[in-house]
Amino acid sequence: MSNHEGQPYCKIGYVFAPNKEQTVIQPSLITKATEQGIGLIRIDPDKPLTEQGPFDCIMHKLYGPDWTQQLQQFSSRNPDVRIIDPPESIERLHNRDSMLEVVSRLKIELNKEKVSVPNQAVVSETELVTRDMAIEELKLRFPLIAKPLEANGSDKSHQMYLIFDNEGLEVLEAPILLQEFVNHGGMIFKVYVAGSSVKCVKRKSLPDISEEKMKSLKGFLPFSQISSNSVDADEEVDLEKTEMPREGFVVELSRALREALGLNLFNFDLIRDAGERDGYLVIDINYLPGYAKLPGYETLLMDFFLNVAKSKAVEEVTSGDELNESVCLQ
């Protein structure tokens, strides 16, 4: 699927932070892309973007005002080059409070499932966190998950705690997001989205905590120290026996999130409420995640790249025919 000169018919420029590139770009993906006529071209972050190319689209995971300005300058000179995804849409996912706001506004038709988010509140002042009545005032119940408000991929943004009582709150520094822990059978469903392509996998998660066990749990536990033993779980989770969410539900939820977020490349964490069989909660959303950890991830991304290429080809045809229709990736 290359042109008559053997060159790729769609050139996709990509750029990541140095420690993130290998989580998506692997030799196996580059090889498969080349075989399909897709050129994956590394963008040098140390050189001006306007001096690189040509590209048909740009896939990026760099942050900061300098990079955003470079994208704006490049787009003004190359309006036909698609940016995947717009920085202003990605920015919403850098705040754990705003990232989940879209879930309550989703335009989605479901069979029997219900989708929501956990009760949560942002605490902006450390003094409020440590007051005895703080949790009651925030209308939250223990146990809580404490997450840094900023979700920018840094080590600090991944420092999370399970909080069992007011004493456990003392370890926290504001601003922070407090989210009610929901029993979910010790299983989390990670849904990877690449345009209209979707893949859902199941992973072990935090074990359930009964009201009886809460009486003996004190203070806090960092996520890195949480296990079935640390909270005295009743039974070990059987990964194989856990039922996956209905495929049609996952696909429809992914479509609705993609449209609401204005993003093509992301994943989200989904849990099934242990107290409501068809109740699901979205608890986290990440931009351009580590697709490479998925078995066969190359096929997922190649389907997306080929759709991008087809959209580009149609745009060129309609432009040549002087049509005013806009072609969007489905």
pLDDT tens per residue across span 285-306: 999 999 999 999 999 999 999 9
Handedness of CA 106, 292, 197, 271 (dihedral sign): negative
With contact defined as beta carbons under 8 Å apart, do 119 and 135 qualify? Answer: no
Helix/strand/coil for 66: helix
CATH of domain 92-287: 3.30.470.20
Specify the pLDDT at position 111. 80
Q: Where in the chain is the domain with CATH 3.40.50.11370?
A: 1-85
> For residue 184, what are its two tokens?
């979910």
Q: Where in the chain is the domain with CATH 3.30.470.20?
A: 92-287
Beta bridge partners of 177: 122, 147
- Please list the helix, strand and coil fractions of the chain in percent, rounded to the nearest 5, in that order: 35, 25, 40
pLDDT per residue as tens, the chain (330 positions): 444 355 668 999 999 998 899 999 999 999 999 999 999 999 999 999 999 999 999 999 998 999 999 999 999 999 999 999 999 999 999 999 889 999 988 978 788 899 999 999 998 876 666 555 457 777 889 999 999 999 877 777 788 999 999 889 888 888 899 999 999 999 999 999 999 999 999 999 998 998 888 888 999 998 876 654 555 555 566 677 788 999 999 999 999 999 999 999 999 999 999 988 899 999 999 999 999 999 999 999 999 999 999 887 656 545 444 433 333 322
Tens-place pLDDT, residues 91-116: 999 999 889 999 988 978 788 899 99
Helix/strand/coil for 42: strand
DSSP secondary structure string for all residues of 236-305: ---TTTSPPPPHHHHHHHHHHHHHHHT-SEEEEEEEE-TTSTTEEEEEEEEES--GGGSTTHHHHHHHHH
Helix/strand/coil for 213: helix
> For residue 203, what are its two tokens?
């992973």
**Residue 263 to residue 84: CA distance in whole angstroms:** 8
**Residue 162 to residue 205: CA distance in whole angstroms:** 13
Under CATH, which architecture does the 1-85 domain have? Answer: 3-Layer(aba) Sandwich (3.40)
**Residue 214 to residue 67: CA distance in whole angstroms:** 47
Largest CA distance in the chain: 72
Q: Is the pTM of this model over 0.85?
A: yes
